[in-house]
Structure 1
Amino acid sequence: MKNVIIIGTVILTGIIILSMGFSFQKNKETESKEIGKTMNTTGKEKEIYFAGGCFWGTEHFFKLVRGVVGTEVGYANATKENPTYEEVCTGNTGATETVKVIYDPEVIDLSLLIDLYIQSIDPTSLNKQGNDRGTQYRTGIYYTDNQDAPLVTQKLHELSLSINSPVVVENEPLKNFFDAETYHQDYLDKNPGGYCHIGPGLFEIAKKANPAK
């Protein structure tokens, strides 16, 4: 009888452990999908996607701008479904490190967001920003609303004229966007001393770019 009780206890314990493990895995999956997306929505938000080199700094930069209500880092315009960071780093997926920026157009307009983005990059540098090199670090503005296309085109044309040099920032509709791994989301918030190609001065510009009236 004791053996039966012991075996039953072991089986029950195993079931509980497996159940806890499954629950933990589901929680991790939920965390992966939700991180970087917390925001107060009004239903009027719009989105734009900026590739500006390493996405850690670009995300942190835009999070500081008043009117930006959500950000998420990921891989845009890839030729492979759900590429991993390691795969993206090979340069074989066609993906570029990109930040999804969700903003309230009643608080900040796209024109200012583009102006800020331009300040945060070297628009003449192909596949290189700061110390990062590779096609995954190319710059680009990707839109989901075709009505945004003329403004993006105008801004990049004006930039080219002002610097009298070719601008290599991509200007395309978004083909796809895959969430980056959880540890990449809000990276500089979690790792304040982490590498960033964007200097502290630009972060201050972002904070003050759209003051409340």
Structure 2
Amino acid sequence: MPNPENAHRAKCADPRTIIFVAYGQMGLLDLTGAQTVFWAATRCLADLGLPGYVLHTASLHGGPVRTGEGLVVQTLRLDDLLDEPINTLIVPGSPHIRQALMDSAPLVDWLRVAFGKAWRTTSVCSGAFFLARAGLLDGLRVATHWLMADLFEQMFPRVELDREAIFVEQAPVWTSAGVSAGIDLALALVEADNGRDVAMQVARRMVVYYRRPDNQEQWSPLLQSQYATD
């Protein structure tokens, strides 16, 4: 039986468009960790004479968006990108997700529309809250930051939360745990698109571990032992 990922890979003769969905108080590393992976992948693919990725950071109204850490990011307008083929939507999380959901309620409506246009939709950390609020995760197994697991289950009882996973694939939806797990997710997406060798090259360029397994515990025994050591 043909592998659908390989079929998709073969069809991508043009650069793949990735839209990073920005909003006020989003987490900076949630955004830039994954962005750097796709940027590095594009450089690796260019060395092979292959198309890479076109990266857009966009918000509902465009213009400057302040992250939770205080850095201001310049963005395009989301509606201006809906007419072009979208390979991947990526929604970063926020350390202030309750407030972010209230402040960005129209973004949920936009995600419902964009979901039908994108080849796959993903979230980093508490970005899963936006996808769940849009009704895009009902009946799926997902990941989010372990600190927000209780809140997520209270708010979205129809979604199956995997409290341990670093990232979860439920095609066409991928979700990840918190912060740096967005890098693991992005490396997995690069591997799905281009194969393991390219993903390995990206990891080497970024000087990161190739990627943690998707089922590795977020709160690993090693980290627990380090935390308990005096």
Q: Specify if TM > 0.5.
A: no
State the TM-score, normalized to the length of structure 2. 0.30
**Larger relative contact order (CA 8 Å, sep ≥ 6):** 1
Point out the structure with max Rg over C-alpha. 1
